[in-house]
Amino acid sequence: MKAEQIQKRLGENLRKLRRNRELTQAELAEKAQVSEDTIKSIELARSWPSGNTLARISEALGIDVHQLFLPTARTSSGNEDIEKEIEDFIAKKFSEYLHSVAEKIYSE
């Protein structure tokens, strides 16, 4: 994964986590003791935060730092094939289950 992809994932995850907690950028910045511009720059993937800044932000959000970098539905770039395989597998198994239920019903 390229550095810009990681930076984009970080920004998207930060935005999502912040919004899930119903915080504005200003509110998160205050809780994390960083500037609002810092939060905005990270979310827009314009700058890399320092380790200290990441620690403050994750603490303010009540998460471990690594969670800011985990793939999510919006940031799953590169995982689409895996997601498609899982969806196909579930669909196939569900279809097989429905078929077996229908066979039992009609054989009685």
Per-residue confidence (pLDDT) for residue 86, from 0 to 100: 67
DSSP secondary structure string for all residues of 13-53:
HHHHHHHHTT--HHHHHHHHTS-HHHHHHHHTT-SPPPHHH
Say how far apart CA 71 and CA 77 lie, in whole Å: 8
The two three-digit tokens of residue 69, written as one number: 């970098």
Per-residue confidence (pLDDT) for residue 75, from 0 to 100: 39
The stretch 26-33 carries a mean pLDDT of 97
> 9-21: per-residue pLDDT in tens?
999 999 999 999 9
Per-residue confidence (pLDDT) for residue 73, from 0 to 100: 46
pTM above 0.85, yes or no: no
Say how far apart CA 62 and CA 41 lie, in whole Å: 21
